[in-house]
């Protein structure tokens, strides 16, 4: 449920009503809501849970987390495909 | 990449395990609160690699598992209402209510839709103004900001056809309830990393001091978990009981203030029923004053409540760590992920489902458990 995965912020769109952006999760791109991370900038890695960024982490940390998640199999796909797990 | 390789390096894992073996002079029982951590521990077999005497107790941190039957039954009622579009995270669909599940209601023609984000439910409401859209808002503190934002989004769009059935739970009161239990087996806790990304960890400091237990904020990767376990054991062996942060790359002491503000605006704290555990004071969130118009429970009159039927499921004892799944006679036979008797077998983060997918059987239980209990 509380899985959050890091994605690299590739674009930031103006608030309508909330600011959103496109994040790249190891090749899968998804729109994420940035309302809780006003400090996030393009190139940052945001920690994303159910479509909302809940924090910003640095690049070295983000790549490491994603790689370990990949090694753990289908967990990233589960998070991206939907479901709270 | 140096940082990456270090954290995936089996040699480092072996060093962490060796250090744990050297540090631990007595048996210690640690609870990982979060179901995501349970999943990693069991799937990777980490709990089986721990030195004899270090036992992991799998905690109640699976929101799917702790959602009361009464809430599921209410969800089923709403999902079967003709003009309703019922939206939910995917893993709630197979959770058994008293007599059926959301998946069965959907199969029977109910408009039940899986959404990835609560914001998607709001978009459905905006696109289909003649339908009443209900979102099943479950989760811990990690999910609360997103669900709060969905309400704020619906408000800003002026929607009158969006509501939420709220069953939100909070971690610190659950830890307190576990510690207050006279049968409490837990010497220390791994606190859930992403809950703390949102909330920080100041709430845990009085708990550590009052109950004299170490609490280590821990991440979700195998080496995170090993490091968190090692930090907790170090504390126990030296008689300390502090809050430490293993997951510093994602957690600050004060958490995410913007997200906390959204939670405070939309929700208020209330007593909460946990499936299999019972009522815990101040352990849930309900919609705050001014946001009741988004409360699905107020929109729809409740039908007669059927009494909770007797079940073989021992979820309460599983969720508090008193029993492990292989102690249950139904585990793996009458209760499987395809035909779950209870919620811990449904969610991938449920302890029973984690055990089942890792192929754990009563004949081949964890050696760590054997050592700790023999």
Sign of CA dihedral B354, B357, B358, B361: positive
Distance CA B344, CA B96 (A): 11
Residues of B with Cβ-Cβ distance to A40 under 8 angstroms: none
Cα of A46 to nearest chain B Cα, Å: 10
Nearest CA in chain B to A46: B250
Nearest CA in chain A to B65: A1
What pLDDT shows up at residue B369?
Answer: 37
Residues of A with Cβ-Cβ distance to B34 under 8 angstroms: 2
Distance CA B332, CA B336 (A): 5
From residue B230, give the alpha-carbon distance in Å to each of A10, B8, B16, B143, B223: 37, 17, 7, 28, 10
Is A47 within 8 Å of B145 when comparing Cβ atoms?
no
What pLDDT shows up at residue B307?
Answer: 56
What pLDDT shows up at residue B89?
Answer: 94
Nearest CA in chain B to A67: B4
Is B117 within 8 Å of A52 when comparing Cβ atoms?
yes
What pLDDT shows up at residue B310?
Answer: 61
DSSP code of residue B295: B
Written as tens digits, the pLDDT of chain A (85 aa) is 568 888 899 999 988 889 999 999 888 999 999 999 999 999 998 999 999 999 998 666 656 544 543 443 333 345 455 544 4
Distance CA B110, CA B103 (A): 9
What pLDDT shows up at residue B154?
Answer: 98
Nearest CA in chain B to A2: B142
Sign of CA dihedral A72, B373, B337, B303: negative
What pLDDT shows up at residue B6?
Answer: 44
Check if the beta carbon of residue B225 is closer than 8 Å to that of residue B218. yes
Distance CA B133, CA A49 (A): 22
Mutation site for B-interface testing, chosen from A50, A57, A67, A72 by largest number of B Cβ within 10 Å: A50
What pLDDT shows up at residue A64?
Answer: 55
Is B116 within 8 Å of A47 when comparing Cβ atoms?
no
Distance CA B3, CA A35 (A): 30
- Whether a cis peptide bond, with omega within 30° of 0, leads into A17 is yes
Is A68 within 8 Å of B90 when comparing Cβ atoms?
no
Residues of B with Cβ-Cβ distance to A50 under 8 angstroms: 89, 116-118, 143, 146
Check if the beta carbon of residue A54 is closer than 8 Å to that of residue B259. yes
What pLDDT shows up at residue B7?
Answer: 60
Out of B44, B115, B145, the one facing A36 most closely (by C-beta) is B145
What pLDDT shows up at residue B372?
Answer: 35
From residue B192, give the alpha-carbon distance in Å to each of B176, B212, B362: 15, 19, 28
Residue B208 β-bridge partners: none
What pLDDT shows up at residue A75?
Answer: 37
DSSP code of residue B53: T
Nearest CA in chain B to A30: B116
Distance CA B189, CA B246 (A): 12
Distance CA B226, CA B218 (A): 9
Is A64 within 8 Å of B3 when comparing Cβ atoms?
yes
pLDDT lower than 70: segments of chain B: 1-9, 303-310, 363-374
What pLDDT shows up at residue A77?
Answer: 45
Mutation site for A-interface testing, chosen from B91, B140, B217, B358 by largest number of A Cβ within 10 Å: B91
Query: Which is nearest to B300 in space by CA: B75, B67, B130?
Result: B75
Residues of B with Cβ-Cβ distance to A33 under 8 angstroms: 117, 119, 146, 149
**ipTM of the predicted structure?**
0.89
Check if the beta carbon of residue B83 is closer than 8 Å to that of residue B114. no
Mutation site for A-interface testing, chosen from B3, B10, B126, B199 by largest number of A Cβ within 10 Å: B3
Check if the beta carbon of residue B355 is closer than 8 Å to that of residue B344. no
Distance CA B216, CA B18 (A): 20
Cα of B74 to nearest chain A Cα, Å: 20
What pLDDT shows up at residue B271?
Answer: 97
Is A33 within 8 Å of B119 when comparing Cβ atoms?
yes
């Amino acid at each position: 449920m509380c899985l959050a995965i890091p994605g690299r912020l590739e674009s930031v769109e103006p608030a309508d009503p909330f600011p959103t952006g496109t994040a790249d999760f190891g090749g899968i791109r998804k729109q994420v809501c940035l309302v809780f991370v006003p400090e996030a900038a393009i190139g940052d890695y945001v920690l994303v849970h159910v479509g909302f960024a809940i924090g910003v982490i640095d690049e070295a940390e983000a790549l490491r987390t994603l790689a370990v998640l990949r090694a753990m199999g289908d967990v990233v796909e589960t998070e991206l495909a939907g479901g709270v797990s | 990449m140096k940082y990456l390789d270090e954290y995936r390096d089996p040699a480092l894992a072996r060093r962490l395990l060796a250090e744990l073996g050297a540090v631990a002079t007595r048996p210690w029982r640690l609870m990982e609160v979060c179901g995501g951590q349970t999943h990693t521990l069991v799937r990777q077999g980490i709990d089986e690699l721990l030195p004899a005497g270090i036992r992991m107790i799998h905690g109640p941190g699976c929101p799917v598992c702790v959602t009361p039957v009464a809430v599921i039954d209410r969800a089923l009622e709403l999902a079967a209402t003709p003009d309703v579009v019922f939206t939910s995270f995917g893993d709630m669909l197979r959770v058994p209510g008293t007599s059926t599940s959301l998946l069965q209601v959907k199969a029977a023609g109910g408009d039940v839709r899986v959404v990835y984000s609560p914001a998607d439910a709001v978009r459905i409401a905006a696109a289909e103004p003649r339908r009443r859209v209900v979102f099943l808002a479950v989760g811990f503190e990690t999910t609360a900001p997103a669900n709060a934002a969905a309400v704020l989004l619906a408000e800003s769009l002026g929607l009158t056809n969006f509501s939420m059935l709220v069953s939100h739970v909070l971690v610190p009161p659950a830890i307190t309830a576990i510690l207050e239990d006279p049968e409490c087996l837990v010497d220390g806790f791994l606190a859930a990393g992403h809950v703390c990304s949102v909330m920080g960890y100041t709430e845990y400091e009085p708990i550590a001091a009052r109950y004299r237990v170490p609490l280590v904020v821990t991440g979700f990767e195998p080496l995170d978990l090993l490091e968190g376990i090692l930090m907790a054991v170090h504390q126990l062996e030296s008689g300390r009981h502090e809050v430490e942060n293993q997951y510093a790359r994602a957690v600050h002491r004060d958490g995410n203030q913007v997200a906390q503000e959204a939670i405070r605006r939309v929700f208020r704290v209330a007593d909460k029923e946990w499936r299999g555990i019972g009522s815990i004071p101040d352990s849930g969130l309900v919609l705050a004053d001014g946001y009741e118009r988004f409360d699905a429970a107020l929109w729809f009159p409740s039908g007669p409540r059927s009494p909770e039927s007797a079940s073989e499921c021992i979820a309460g004892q599983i969720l508090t760590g008193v029993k492990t799944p292989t102690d249950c006679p139904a585990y793996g036979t009458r209760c499987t992920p395809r035909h779950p008797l209870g919620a811990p077998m449904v969610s991938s983060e449920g302890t029973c489902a984690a055990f089942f997918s890792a192929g754990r059987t009563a004949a081949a239980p964890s050696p760590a458990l054997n050592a700790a209990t023999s």
